[in-house]
Amino acid sequence: MAACGKVEVNEDILDTLSPELQVIKKTMQDKQMRLGMQEILKALLKIVPDYENMLVENVLRPFIVKDEDYIRIMDLMLENFNKGLHKETNKDARVKMFPTYVRAVPDGTEEGDYLALDLGGTNFRVLLISLRGQEVNMDSKIYLIPQNIMLGTGEQLFDHIAECISKFMVSHKLGRKKLPLGFTFSFPCRQEGLDKAILTTWTKGFKCEGVEGEDIVRLLHEAIKRRGDMAVDCLAVINDTVGALMSCAHSDRQCAVGLILGTGTNACYIERLENVELANVKAEDGPREMLINTEWGAFGDDGCLDFVRTEYDRHVDKHSLNPGLQIYEKMISGMYMGEIVRLVLVKLVKHSLLFGGQGSELLFQRGRFYTKYVSEIESDVDDGFKNTKQVFEELEIDKSTEEDCRIVQHVCSLISSRAAYLASAGIGCILNKMDRPEVTVAVDGSLYRFHPHFHDLMMEKTQQLVKPGLKFKLMLSHDGSGKGAALVAAVAHRLRQEAHTFQKEDKSNLRRNLGEMNLYEQS
């Protein structure tokens, strides 16, 4: 703890005190009186035992969200879902509830070799997947997407992606082998069929010119054609939430929700077809359900979450690539969590409540407190704050006390818990809406995977929020983005071959056959 008496009690820190004290301060019209009042408060504070601790708690209070507020968030999420699902309200909805044209989960009979791409925000991967029923073999390679390409032109991005595929084909000695490809493209897309996905808006760290409003399959095919050195055919585009769900459903038939907690956050779930007003399919053909990609990251973009947002959330949003957008995502996901923690730490340093008022140049740099630090710091249990001190070292913080370690761990824990609880409100809403007696939620993303308590925090809060009697599991989905894309590509490939076979038969007959084969494209 900073040495007693060093804490500067200025107007800013007084703002973090209880509303009653702020009222007194606000009633002081005269500047001299206000300053006098400040002195009195300062003196009063110092007779409160452990007042520095109290000031720390005051700074952190906005991150503690009441149970009734989580219930309200769940209700608001449901309103947003319904607005997105209905044809007449979808145009103005922030949560878009995109139909995916995926109408059932895999049945375990999928076979063959497939390529998959996974573009999710942080990593770009190319995968070779061989499906032999339940047996799945994968080989993958991560390729870097440089910052200048993430913020460059669409042509540069897709040329880069095509180059990575080509390198992968060479290194895996695939030559000009004709391979079907499934593309996990984890940005909001209005899907017009399995192989047609129009990007509505870039999110996370991407902003490539000339891609919004375009079909990303066409852009990929054009880039492949420009190179002219491979025979790759993109048959399906899916979202990573769908990938997680598909991959988990391959072995768990109860799996009906896909959740991502990585660079960003999003969820998909199985909706009854009569509620999917936006998809252009005939209800009498095939399965009576469809996966909906909620794109819930945009929840709150109309201001409905402002009652729980903090000054730090607003700061992160203001300095992002997409101010005013993806408000729910910015309170939860990996791309933003470290920065929220950093802003709070900076505030505590500025008030001499942390590191004796001395930060470091790195701590004051935007984006320099990585979300993985949160996991590392919260993993310290009875080990003399080994990881925490290691993080301080990486941030070149010279002087720290055990109390500083305790405070930083507390900050991380409050902010990651709030994220886990907010995500639970979303999952609670989906589980209650589906109203199935038993559901497995497939979860993917590094935040969920590596944070030491995210799973437990979500289990506890979701349990509180779901209707009594509904059972659920949260299951880590291994490599969902790759396996899921391959599974969808496999079924799409089979559909195409069947389409050739049935070419001469009438269309209704063909449609019936497609429906029976689980996946269904827009007619």
Work out whether 371 is an interface residue with ligand ADP (CB under 6 A).
Answer: yes
Residue 46 annotated among the catalytic residues of the structure:
no
d(CA 242, CA 479): 12
Residue 121 contacts which entry, ligand ADP, Mg ion, none (Cβ below 5-8 A, type-dependent): ligand ADP
- For residues 475 and 245, the answer to whether their CB atoms sit within 8 Å is no
- The nearest distance, CB 342 to Mg ion, in angstroms, is 24
Cα–Cα separations (whole angstroms), residue 56 to 61, 274, 357: 9, 51, 13
With CB under 6 A as the contact rule, the residue among 243, 262, 426, 428 that binds ligand ADP is: 262
* Category of 471 on φ-ψ map: left (φ > 0), alpha (ψ -120 to 50) or beta: beta
- For residues 376 and 387, the answer to whether their CB atoms sit within 8 Å is yes
d(CA 335, CA 57): 25
Find, among 497, 507, 505, 389, the residue nearest to 111 by Cα: 497
Pick 123 or 140: Cβ nearer ligand ADP? 123
Q: Residues 118, 233, 240, 380: which is the catalytic one?
A: 240
Residue 297 contacts which entry, Mg ion, ligand ADP, none (Cβ below 5-8 A, type-dependent): none
Number of residues counted as binding ligand ADP (CB under 6 A): 16
How many Å is the Cα radius of gyration of the chain?
26
Pick 90 or 123: Cβ nearer ligand ADP? 123
Find, among 253, 359, 283, 323, the residue nearest to 515 by Cα: 283
Upper half-sphere CA count for residue 416 (Cβ side, 13 Å): 30
Q: For residue 401, what are its two tokens?
A: 């006390």
- The nearest distance, CB 120 to Mg ion, in angstroms, is 3
Pick 159 or 329: Cβ nearer ligand ADP? 329
From the list 53-61, 165-173, 474-482, 485-493, the region that binds Mg ion by CB under 5 A is 474-482
Pick 320 or 481: Cβ nearer Mg ion? 481
- The nearest distance, CB 41 to ligand ADP, in angstroms, is 39
- The nearest distance, CB 424 to ligand ADP, in angstroms, is 17
d(CA 341, CA 367): 10
Work out whether 188 is an interface residue with ligand ADP (CB under 6 A).
Answer: no
From the list 216-224, 230-238, 276-284, 369-377, the region that binds ligand ADP by CB under 6 A is 369-377
d(CA 19, CA 13): 13
From the list 102-110, 199-207, 238-246, 486-494, the region that binds Mg ion by CB under 5 A is 238-246
From the list 55-63, 221-229, 273-281, 444-452, the region that binds ligand ADP by CB under 6 A is 444-452
Pick 247 or 320: Cβ nearer Mg ion? 247
Upper half-sphere CA count for residue 341 (Cβ side, 13 Å): 32
Work out whether 120 is an interface residue with Mg ion (CB under 5 A).
Answer: yes
Work out whether 450 is an interface residue with ligand ADP (CB under 6 A).
Answer: yes
With CB under 6 A as the contact rule, the residue among 1, 116, 335, 363 that binds ligand ADP is: 335
Residue 347 annotated among the catalytic residues of the structure:
no
Question: What single letter denotes the amino acid at residue 207?
Answer: K
With CB under 6 A as the contact rule, the residue among 257, 447, 486, 491 that binds ligand ADP is: 447
Work out whether 446 is an interface residue with ligand ADP (CB under 6 A).
Answer: yes
Q: For residue 38, what are its two tokens?
A: 């400040």
Work out whether 127 is an interface residue with ligand ADP (CB under 6 A).
Answer: no
Work out whether 432 is an interface residue with ligand ADP (CB under 6 A).
Answer: no
Number of residues counted as binding Mg ion (CB under 5 A): 4
- The nearest distance, CB 182 to Mg ion, in angstroms, is 14
d(CA 88, CA 215): 24
Per-residue DSSP letters for 194-258? TTEEEE----TT---BT-TTSBHHHHHHHHHHHH----EEEEEEE-HHHHHHHHHHTT-TTEEEE
Interface of this chain with Mg ion, residues 253 to 312, rule: CB under 5 A: 262
Find, among 126, 424, 91, the residue nearest to 267 by Cα: 424
Residues that bind ligand ADP (CB under 6 A): 120-123, 262-263, 334-335, 371-372, 375, 445-447, 450-451
Residues that bind Mg ion (CB under 5 A): 120, 240, 262, 481
Q: Which residues are catalytic?
A: 204, 240
